[in-house]
Structure 1
Amino acid sequence: MRRIVILFLICIDLISFAAWPASASEPAKPGVLNAGKFLQAGKFLQAKGRDLVLPTGEIFPVRGIGLGNWLVPEGYMFKFKNARAPRDIGQIIEIALGAEEAARFWETFRDRYITREDIEFMARSGFNTVRVPIHFGLFMAEPEKGGEERFTGPGWALLDRVIGWSREAGLKVIIDLHAAPGGQTGVNHDDGTGFPLVFYVEREKRRTTALWREIARRYRDEPAIFGYELLNEPISTYNDEDILNPRLEPFYRRVTAAIREVDPHHIVILAGAQWDQNFRVFSPPFAPNLVYTYHKFWSATRRDVVHEYIAFADRYRVPILLGEAGEATNAWNREFRTLNETHGFGWSFWTYKNLSTPSTVVSIRMPKGWEKLAALGSMNAPSLEKANLTRDEARRILNDYLDAVLFRNVEVRPCYLRSLGLAEALEEACQAEERAAASAPKKAP
């Protein structure tokens, strides 16, 4: 184990030199743009044909990672089986700590979960893009009596900060509306009612459109912005697809028009219906500078799995982005990534950081006693007493968790990075990790 740690520390130093985005003075590989040069050139990324390019014609191959759980908490990333939506997770933390301490917990959580050190590590590892899921509730409050929207909340400062760090590190930023007003998916991670109300209720349509217009107004001159992903995974398979699917593209048109009133430059990213996988909802592209995104988990890694997206890209000459994939084996990551790269698709895997898992870039060490908190979050009628927890114990566990999420305390997964074709300097550390895993005692079934 000591040898693995030493190898890892040595390799991290090597990555600092080997994988950091090149400066503007360094020549780019022919036809391929490095992220550092892109940002220092002060240009906006554009969709041209099937590629993402600069006016010079240099291609930007997307190599991204999603910042899941940071601004949109998800229950499985806390090992909660019942409290899955952000509001439900918030209730568990409030039961554990009380309202006042719970508010402080979330403030510290957001400050520590993604830091400058995390962003710099992503850049050193070879990523050139970060996808930032956001929750509308961190960016807007309930409207005034007259109906005027109030764009206020802690999300703006947090987003400004991560964009600034990304700009300095040479990374591009996708802003992904993961939880829209009213909900867009109809499942837990949109934090809605269980129905995608943004497609039913005019008020939610107006609020979502207004939020995107404000985001675009604020960041219209920001070169670190890759683009605006209007909705994450709209219209799940649990909803009335026949009624809702025809409403998706018209809503995209409405939001895109509002964005273009204030920002004519940045890319707009459109997700397919049903977990981003159904592109049959789309007509020919209705505007320039559009990118289409799909998600795929736990699938086969054959060409027929992505045939629909290849055909769409070829027919309409538009870029395709694999917006989420992963949470599988490293072998699957490698095969599916390679499949997408072969057909000219950029990618952003899911997710950067998670609790005690091998299938992320970095893994949070599980605090002692976390199983009690996980039990609390898995109950239908949660209480400290039923979870055999005292408030003092819950406080200690959650404070340990807040320390564990800091970059200096996480476990880096070298083999995960290598499965994405990144961090060549970590190859030896990956081999050591694989040997350690092979020699570890097998758990009883």
Structure 2
Amino acid sequence: MNGFLRRRHRSIVDGAGEEILLRGVGIGNWWLPEGYMWRFGDAAASPRQIEKVVEDLIGPGDAEQFWRRYRDEYVGEADVARMAAEGWNSVRLPLNARYLMADDGTFDEPAFALIDRFLGWCRTHRVYVVVDLHGAPGGQTGTNIDDSPNNYPELFTTPAHQDATVRLWREIARRYRDEEIVAGYDLLNEPLPRDFQYKYPAELIALYKRLIAEIREIDQNHMIILEGSNWARNWSIFDELWDDNVLLQFHKYWNSPDRDQIQEYLAKRAELDAPIYMGEGGENNNGWYQASFQLYEDHDISWNFWTWKKLSKLNSPATVRQPADWQRIVDYVYGGAKPDRAVAKRAFDEFLDNLPLDRCDYRHDVVDAMMRRAPLRLQAEYFGHLGEGVSYGVTGPGTPLPGFRESDRVTVRYRLPRTDGDPAPEGDEPNFRHNLGQERADHEVMVVHLAEGDWLSYEVNTVAPGGLAVRPVTAGGTGRLAVTVDGTPLNGATELPAGRHTLVVRAEDGPVVLDHLDVTPVPAGGDPGDRA
């Protein structure tokens, strides 16, 4: 790390002028709890609602102690060290204004001390920090994700909330203006979703410009990170850059992972000559992770995975183990019987005990998927995103599925015929909404039809020297698949250095219907069974 990150045309560079692609993970639920990460869903979705549940069950005194310990222990240095070891070079830190600043404008020094401690860990492990105002005074979204007090984006209707937001950002800039580990200031998370995007766009632009001016009075060093409206997806407000050191951010969930879905952001990057950042994407299954984060890598887009740690879920790197009596808490939240105080206190204490990383279940498969790191399963249709001649080659016109990779001339089909009982009939767009990490249903699985001579290219990363074992799984055809790695035919004697590799499969001696590829690292001088 060398100096502050800054914009240089369409790239992010450090103080030495070296280009940096941010690869990161978000720490949701720490400073802004969300109900689904506690298994409370919409029944207690916002921080205020979760706080009420805790206080109702164990009383205000114990609740205060719970939250004090929660803030102190939700993330530790071990978390940051693991992020760095996995290859992430950045973390997005979502903050809730209510926990940092009182109604009278005074700042909470113990809260900032925890943030300072976190920045120190990131400095030690060389992980940049994106400071993200996830919950602004009054709320910028009108939903649970910003802790809105009245379920309305009152930030844009109440001058006092705007003044408080300015005051908070000035304080953040004052405290961290000389902190090189801070990558930039993400001014507002996902402002003005749904119909609000059309109601208050002028107010959003005005507030962005005001915040930039106020921050620049104090801090001329850090990048300003701006999100579009409507969950950060609507970039129509960006017709010019309001500062010379700007990074534009979008979010992507549950979409088709292909170039067509990001084309508008690529076009805006070219138009404004500015770097772009996919600042939130996740809450899906491993196949979607593999395809989506490959998409951003292929197009030089910085990215951030959501989210690092949550309770009893399978699709984040760290899973907090569910306490023994937690289901009774969940049942109460959804209208069931209220557990007695001792039971609830025991459950909340066990929850806190389970927060440290060494007490969590670690999901290597989740990390491997987003890093395209062996061992992993490469679904056939998730080949690279750099177009014909680089990521694939075909001898015929190809027929993509409606709504998926329609710009690529590759024939993709469902593996099984659809029936009247399936949720989506043949011809409908594929389903990419697998929020809990579940694998696709049989009728959702896609395959690629390769004519003789057609080929597909995939990225695979390895962490140690050795070989690769590749097992193609086909669903039809009379031909065979030839496999090369970095241009060399793959065989048991192939030795590869650690790092990034290009795996190509080609149909020979007839057509092949490819379902997926199982890729396993082989230690130097060993076989796949030697892997720990």
Q: TM-score, normalised by structure 1?
A: 0.82
User: Residue 202 of structure 1: CA displacement?
Assistant: 0.5
3-state DSSP class of the match of 1:70? coil
1:88 aligns with 2:49: yes
Which of 263, 267, 274 is 2:223 aligned to?
267
User: Residue 225 of structure 1: CA displacement?
Assistant: 0.3
- 1:270–1:292 contact (8 Å) kept in structure 2: yes
2:136 corresponds in structure 1 to: 180
1:20 corresponds in structure 2 to: none
1:243 corresponds in structure 2 to: 199
3-state DSSP class of the match of 2:217? helix
Q: What is the CA deviation profile of residues 348-398 of structure 1, one whole-angstrom value per residue up to 9, with x for unaligned ones? A: 01000011111101111111121111122233xxxxxx4241111111111
Which of 337, 344, 368 is 1:394 aligned to?
344
User: Residue 240 of structure 1: CA displacement?
Assistant: 3.3
Which of 75, 96, 100 is 2:61 aligned to?
100
2:475 corresponds in structure 1 to: none
Q: Distance in 2 between matches of 1:275 and 1:258?
A: 25
Q: Cα–Cα, structure 1 residues 330 and 405, in superposed 2: closer, same or farther, change >3 Å?
A: same
2:164 corresponds in structure 1 to: 207
User: Residue 50 of structure 1: CA displacement?
Assistant: 1.1
Q: Distance in 2 between matches of 1:153 and 1:295?
A: 32
1:79 corresponds in structure 2 to: 39
Q: Distance in 1 between matches of 2:55 and 2:159?
A: 32
Q: Distance in 2 between matches of 1:407 and 1:188?
A: 27
Q: Distance in 1 between matches of 2:15 and 2:319?
A: 39
Amino acid at match of 2:85: R
1:61 corresponds in structure 2 to: 21
Q: Distance in 1 between matches of 2:241 and 2:55?
A: 46
1:136 aligns with 2:97: yes
User: Residue 55 of structure 1: CA displacement?
Assistant: 4.1
1:322 aligns with 2:278: yes
2:370 corresponds in structure 1 to: 420
1:159 aligns with 2:112: no
3-state DSSP class of the match of 1:98? helix
1:404 corresponds in structure 2 to: 354
Spell out the pairing of 1:7-18 with structure 2 (5 A cutoff): none
C-alpha RMSD over aligned residues: 1.6
Which of 152, 159, 167 is 1:195 aligned to?
152
- 1:136–1:177 contact (8 Å) kept in structure 2: yes
Amino acid at match of 1:322: M
2:75 corresponds in structure 1 to: 114
Q: Distance in 1 between matches of 2:95 and 2:214?
A: 19
3-state DSSP class of the match of 1:325? strand
3-state DSSP class of the match of 1:132? strand
Q: Distance in 1 between matches of 2:213 and 2:369?
A: 39
Amino acid at match of 1:417: V
- 1:141–1:153 contact (8 Å) kept in structure 2: no
- 1:71–1:135 contact (8 Å) kept in structure 2: yes
Structure 1: 4+ residue segments shifted above 6 A: none
- 1:132–1:173 contact (8 Å) kept in structure 2: yes
Q: Distance in 2 between matches of 1:376 and 1:51?
A: 50
User: Residue 152 of structure 1: CA displacement?
Assistant: 2.4
Greater share of helix: 1
- 1:373–1:387 contact (8 Å) kept in structure 2: no
Q: Report which structure shows greater RCO (CA 8 Å, sep ≥6).
A: 1
User: Residue 232 of structure 1: CA displacement?
Assistant: 0.4
1:293 aligns with 2:245: no
Which of 291, 302, 311 is 1:355 aligned to?
311
More moved, 241-250 vs 166-175 = 241-250
Amino acid at match of 2:28: G
Q: Distance in 1 between matches of 2:249 and 2:333?
A: 32
3-state DSSP class of the match of 2:248? strand
- 1:140–1:150 contact (8 Å) kept in structure 2: yes
Identity %, equivalent residues: 36
Q: What is the CA deviation profile of residues 381-426 of structure 1, one whole-angstrom value per residue up to 9, with x for unaligned ones? A: xxxxx4241111111111111111111100111111111217x5xx
More moved, 239-248 vs 333-342 = 239-248
Amino acid at match of 1:122: M
User: Residue 212 of structure 1: CA displacement?
Assistant: 0.3
Q: Distance in 2 between matches of 1:158 and 1:376?
A: 32
User: Residue 327 of structure 1: CA displacement?
Assistant: 0.8
Which of 368, 373, 376 is 2:332 aligned to?
376
- Work out which of the two has the higher radius of gyration on C-alpha atoms and give 1 or 2: 2
Structure 2: state its 5+ residue gaps.
378-436, 439-532
2:209 corresponds in structure 1 to: 253
More moved, 298-307 vs 50-59 = 50-59
- 1:70–1:113 contact (8 Å) kept in structure 2: yes
Corresponding residue pairs, total: 377
Q: Distance in 2 between matches of 1:331 and 1:45?
A: 32
Amino acid at match of 2:360: V
1:223 corresponds in structure 2 to: 180
2:441 corresponds in structure 1 to: none
Q: TM-score, normalised by structure 2?
A: 0.69
User: Residue 242 of structure 1: CA displacement?
Assistant: 2.4
Q: Distance in 1 between matches of 2:97 and 2:14?
A: 31
Q: What is the CA deviation profile of residues 177-225 of structure 1, one whole-angstrom value per residue up to 9, with x for unaligned ones? A: 0000000011011111111111111100110011001100110000110
3-state DSSP class of the match of 2:237? coil
Q: Distance in 1 between matches of 2:29 and 2:70?
A: 10
User: Residue 241 of structure 1: CA displacement?
Assistant: 2.9
